[in-house]
Structure 1
Amino acid sequence: MAYEHGVRISEQATSLLPTVEVSAGIPVIIGTAAVNMADPENVNKPKLCYSYAEAVEAFGHVPAELDPESGLKKFRFSISELIQSAFSLYGVCPIIAINVLDPAKHKCTVSATSVRLDPKTGQGVVEETGILPAGLTLSSESRNYSVNDDFVLSFDDDGFLVITSLKNEDGDFRCQTGTDITLFAEKLDPSKVTEEDIIGGVDTEGRKRGLELISDIFPLFRLVPGTIVAPGYSENPGVAAVMAAKCASINSVFKSVCVVDVPTDTVKQHTEVAAWKNDNNIVDPLQIACWPEIILDETIYRMSTQIACLMAQVDSENDDVPYVSPSNHNLQMTGTVLKDGTEVVLGQDNGAYLNGEGVVTALNFIGGWVAWGNRTAAYPGSTDVKDTFIPVRRMFNWIGNTFVQTFWPRIDGPLNRRQVHTIVDSANIWLNGLSAQQYILGGRIEFLEDENTTLDLMDGKVVFDVSVTPPSPNRAINFKFKYDVQYLQTLFQ
């Protein structure tokens, strides 16, 4: 050791660890996207989007289109529905999206067989969405035209393909204008995407698809999935079951919730919802079941899409802590409908019935259209408060996810009193802070001797006992009235 003469300083690691911020309500969607407008190779790849522009760049965007059956507009691509809901209706970010629509197999031939280019502008519009630029051909009676040599392709705001003729050196259009020219192209066909594509799996080369990609989100972005949705597919019991299974063990350590829809093409009365829910085993505490669908500006939205965005919005208004229920908060809607556009009229009594069966619905009673219901799908089969109230279940998830990320750096540290005290003291200070802000009613963490056996301690394993009480949603307020005869005496005063 060198000879010391003078004053020196040294530093010791802080014995308290600040908690890691965890976003509780990030919407994660597994669905279909108009990747013909973006990158056709964007298939089964999680993408993180913080803005509308980023989302459109990654996935394209096709607005809702007229549905001949209902006379209303619907989204052909489910990721477009979430993009519209998250960024335009609720103003929440980020979102994480996984497109499973593969242009190589989920496609069909374009209906249009010809297009006419305007003599003045050299432009023509093919009014179909999802058209794939690759493989598109144009030809007249005299010649065939080549993309980028004779014409270029782009898309307008409706998702329609715009064909623009280039000009010769003398200023004439290279493509024939004013008359029909022959068009051949293929387009995306979301109807060919199946429940198996959403569920996904792992192929022989280790490539993941569909819901299996949930486990890639944290390694890629260091973000824990908040709410998982698969609008248009979650009404399938098999998809809903896999969604719940993924929520229960993300990367083996994190938890999330999923929002699933009860189908409105087969379940057309509110009195039929409970039987469908039970028959199809939608009873998991990590599932939030919704019925029916909702409408805004003549456009139908799946309720799961808007509930996921609403939860993220409510979280953002409460310091990103999910202790407040989404129930009785405004949805962006003007009515409730079935899949075929039939109006559904629900009163407070109908809403209470659905809530009592573990189903979230929408209600227009006082204060406009709101989400109505605090219960997870586990209710009424389970009455455990941590599993049946949406905000309580989400708080347990959020606190647990926070602990995992905060104390992960302590893994493989020496198992001594300093290690134990650092974890206990840091966690208790954070829980006391949550309690002071009334995010929880109280919480504590303890290291108990009777829960840590000698053999476990020798093997490097410790157990911490965590007690926490998030506030339950105040779902019922009762005023008890009585007639008080004593006030008759005021007549004599």
Structure 2
Amino acid sequence: MAGYKHGAYTYELPTSIVPPVESTAGLTVVFGTAPIHLLDNPSEAVNKVVMAYTYGEAVKKMGYSSDFDKYTICEAISSHFALFAVSPLVMVNVLDPKKHSVEGEENIQISKGEGVFSSDGILKPSVVVKSADKSITYEASKYELEFDDDGKLHIYTDVATEITVEFKRLDATLVTASDVVGGVSLDGSYKGLELVNKVFPRVLLVPGILIAPKYSTNPLVAAVMKAKAASVNGLYQTIAIVDVPTSEVRDYTQVPEYKNSKNLADKNMLVCWPKCSLGGKQYHKSTQMASLANLVDASNEGYPYHEPSNNNLQMDAAVLEDGTEILLDLEQANYLNGQGIVTSLNFVGGWKLWGHRTSCYPANTDPKDAFISVRRVFIYEQNQFINTYWQKVDKPGNKKLIDNIVDSTNIDLNGKAARQFILGGRIEFLREENPLTDLIDGTYAFHLFITPATPARELKGLFEFDPAYFETLFA
């Protein structure tokens, strides 16, 4: 109990304007396989949310291999950190030594105390070294194992000039769509795409983009990505970028049919075709698009109001899975865009990402759903509203609370309008949207009006011959 007071005292009150909590528009979460056999403790990198801010950190936590077909997370590491120089990247590896490994054996020649394994993905703890005729099993103290920069395993020993080695090795071909989809185990552990709900609790950043290079070409994986993009943690929304399989769909005219038959249509889903190639190394377009979106966002204060379309990709050819080059002209690329498909175009200024429509177009033409940049702004603002005002949940629903939310949001939206992020925006607390029954039950509804600029998808120049200028001949 406060005692008797006599004098001057000070007290602190909560600030009446709440600064917004940033929503991470482009935080990319990649699901796939990584060369975890290169790590000291491979099991620690299985079905875990792992974030990296640098190339070196990503390699340290996931390993790295240039074989993107086996190790799809490495494709995202290369694209994000090497090609586009953006960060961070969140990675979820589903390649599990307990499920996705096979027995192997090699006869190795030892020269000057060193031998090299030809097999890939060898799990060092499983290595058993024997004599060439297998009559002797050597103790671990008799040899050393070490991976080189190319992921090849070397053995250093002087026990013999020829040895037989038995081991287990990772086999990424055993990974199925079900592994990527994942789920919740009986012990409560999360696996695969289900781990998207663990990203925010783990790194305190809201997922912005979901990709699964190679595996998103599977309709089951794409369908689950679509579902996850609509509801992360039961609160947030995000964007899922998927690829149409170029091994199956080889002609641009077949892409819309594939998209429709596989139900790849949603306001939070982007569909890409074909693949990108740089110096003969193939990347899925979804991977490079995610990196490019991050780069474009970063050049605009992290706010996703610019389309990634018509910005340069890191590629020198558009290709199918077998390496066949695809060179679309403008009309062909526009045909795909008109069907809600993102592609690439080599026209003015080199190879560019080409397409500003989400996959719900043309069935859904609502601008907040159909344009990629407008959709991302709406997702950004909704996620920001949740993060900013979560601190107000369970506070007294009085005039002070309402004014605080209305004033804070309007100041934020006015600032974004002044910087041309949006054309305008406001928030209102309307009587007709807050019936007495809702207020009694503790539900308070705020109405936000937001208008991002739609992308200038067509610039028209109207040219007219004006005979009046002949008068200049007599001036």
Q: How does the TM-score come out when normalised to structure 2?
A: 0.96
1:117 paired residue number: 110
Contact 1:448–1:464 (Cα < 8 Å) also in 2: yes
1:481 positional shift:
1.2
Asked if residue 325 in structure 1 is aligned to residue 317 in structure 2, the reply is no
1:170 paired residue number: none
Code of the residue aligned with 1:2 in structure 2: it is G
Asked if residue 146 in structure 1 is aligned to residue 139 in structure 2, the reply is yes
Q: Which residue of the other structure, out of 53, 61, 75, is the alignment partner of 2:64?
A: 61
Code of the residue aligned with 1:425 in structure 2: it is D
1:69-218 equivalent positions in 2, closer than 5 A = 74-110=68-104, 113-119=106-112, 122-141=113-132, 143-147=136-140, 149-165=141-157, 173=158, 175-177=159-161, 180-218=162-200
1:71 paired residue number: none
1:140 positional shift:
2.2
Asked if residue 227 in structure 1 is aligned to residue 214 in structure 2, the reply is no
The 2-side partners of 1:232 and 1:98 are apart by: 14
1:453 positional shift:
0.8
1:4 positional shift:
3.0
1:188 positional shift:
1.1
Contact 1:293–1:339 (Cα < 8 Å) also in 2: yes
Asked if residue 49 in structure 1 is aligned to residue 52 in structure 2, the reply is yes
Code of the residue aligned with 1:386 in structure 2: it is K
Report sequence identity in percent. 44
1:290 positional shift:
0.2
Contact 1:28–1:97 (Cα < 8 Å) also in 2: yes
The 2-side partners of 1:247 and 1:306 are apart by: 19
Structure 2 unpaired stretches of 5+: none
2:30 paired residue number: 29
1:93-492 equivalent positions in 2, closer than 5 A = 93-110=87-104, 113-119=106-112, 122-141=113-132, 143-147=136-140, 149-165=141-157, 173=158, 175-177=159-161, 180-492=162-474
Deviations 1:346-370 (A, max 9, x none): 1111110110010000111011111
How many residue pairs were aligned? 470
Contact 1:37–1:60 (Cα < 8 Å) also in 2: yes
The 2-side partners of 1:22 and 1:190 are apart by: 35
Deviations 1:67-112 (A, max 9, x none): xxxxxxx5420111111111111111111111111111112244x6
Question: SS where residue 277 of structure 1 aligns?
Answer: helix
1:117 positional shift:
2.5
Deviations 1:204-246 (A, max 9, x none): 2222111111111111111101100011111111211111111
The 2-side partners of 1:97 and 1:220 are apart by: 12
Question: SS where residue 368 of structure 2 aligns?
Answer: helix
Cα gap change, 1:401 to 1:145, in 2 (>3 Å): same
Deviations 1:5-49 (A, max 9, x none): 332222211111011122210110111111111132121111111
Contact 2:69–2:214 (Cα < 8 Å) also in 1: no
The 2-side partners of 1:125 and 1:470 are apart by: 58
Contact 2:106–2:117 (Cα < 8 Å) also in 1: no
2:42 paired residue number: 40
Which stretch of structure 1 is more off in the superposition, 473-482 or 286-295?
A: 473-482
1:68 paired residue number: none
Code of the residue aligned with 1:81 in structure 2: it is E
Contact 1:330–1:370 (Cα < 8 Å) also in 2: yes
Question: SS where residue 144 of structure 1 aligns?
Answer: coil
The 2-side partners of 1:362 and 1:58 are apart by: 32
Code of the residue aligned with 1:45 in structure 2: it is K
Contact 1:385–1:392 (Cα < 8 Å) also in 2: yes
Structure 1 unpaired stretches of 5+: 65-73, 166-172
Question: SS where residue 113 of structure 1 aligns?
Answer: strand
